Copies of this chain bind each other. A is one copy, B any other.
Amino acid sequence: MSERDSERSISQTVRAQLALRDMILSGQLRPGERISELQAVEITNVSRTPVRLALVRLEDEGLLQAIPSGGFMVKAFTERDILDSIELRGTLEGLAARFAAERGASARSLEPLKECLADLDQLVRQDPVSVEAFSAYVTMNARFHALLTELSASPPLIRQIDRVSALPFASPSSFVMAQSALPEAHQILLIGQDHHRIVVDAIENREGGRAEAIMREHSRLAARNLRLALRNRTHLDLLPALALLQSPA
């Protein structure tokens, strides 16, 4: 094989998984479409064994759906499915925040979260937020949510949150970029950041209920962004995840 060095070190299974995922998210494989193993073999240039494993992995991820008689098809999602997935993530992150608060996260363990919060503050401060700042926000925001999840110190919960967030439209940063095209962009960013501040404060003060509630509300900001983006239909190209929407996007 004369692949690039960077691609030689990873396994065929992962390579196939990445290639197929890309094709699904980019819409080259349409929702409802059956995807045969041989077809996948042609696409990815790896043999059936790793392809099959990749398909199984993508099924757990939630991108594919097993057909009873065998094989897989690309899963289709309704707008309601997406909204529910966001609410689901919010609920789980709320639980994580409550655990962190009730179990007394140590001052030391809170430090990285606070640093992250400060970094986000820095980014949000500028009034016309540059595109680069938005991009940096997405990264930092993902880090904030990951740190918060870990603060729960609950492996089973962390696992579930990771599984929900694996869906491309359910992760904490899914619709932040879509925001950037909206007039209310800066406003929403400020509100979201205030939620971040509140949850850290609540955890510090052992206010479990408050921590839980604010994370639930926080996720509804993503729901709002989604709805706005769908209504305005501007810059929908920023949202590859919506290729999975079954009603015409």
Contacts and interface: CB of A to CB of B under 8 A. Distances in A.
A245 interface: no
Contacts of A164: 160
B49 A84 contact: no
Interface size class of A (residues with CB under 8 A): 20 to 34
Interface in A51-107: 52-53, 56-57, 60, 62, 80-81, 84-85, 87-88, 91-92, 95, 99
A45 interface: no
A95 B216 CA distance: 12
A128 interface: no
A95 B80 CA distance: 15
B155 A62 contact: no
B56 A88 contact: no
A11 to B, nearest CB: 9
Contacts of A88: 92, 95, 156-157, 160
A159 interface: yes
A154 B95 contact: no
Contacts of A81: 154-156
Contacts of A60: 60
Nearest to A86: B156
A52 B13 CA distance: 13
A163 interface: yes
Contacts of A156: 81, 84-85, 88, 167
A130 to B, nearest CB: 34
A50 to B, nearest CB: 11
Nearest to A82: B156
Contacts of A87: 95
Contacts of A49: 49
A159 B154 CA distance: 21
Contacts of A163: 160, 163
Contact of A56 (B56, B155, B160): B56
A92 B157 CA distance: 11
19 contacts: A52-B53, A53-B56, A56-B56, A56-B57, A81-B155, A81-B156, A84-B99, A84-B155, A84-B156, A85-B156, A87-B95, A88-B92, A88-B160, A91-B91, A91-B95, A156-B167, A160-B160, A160-B163, A160-B164
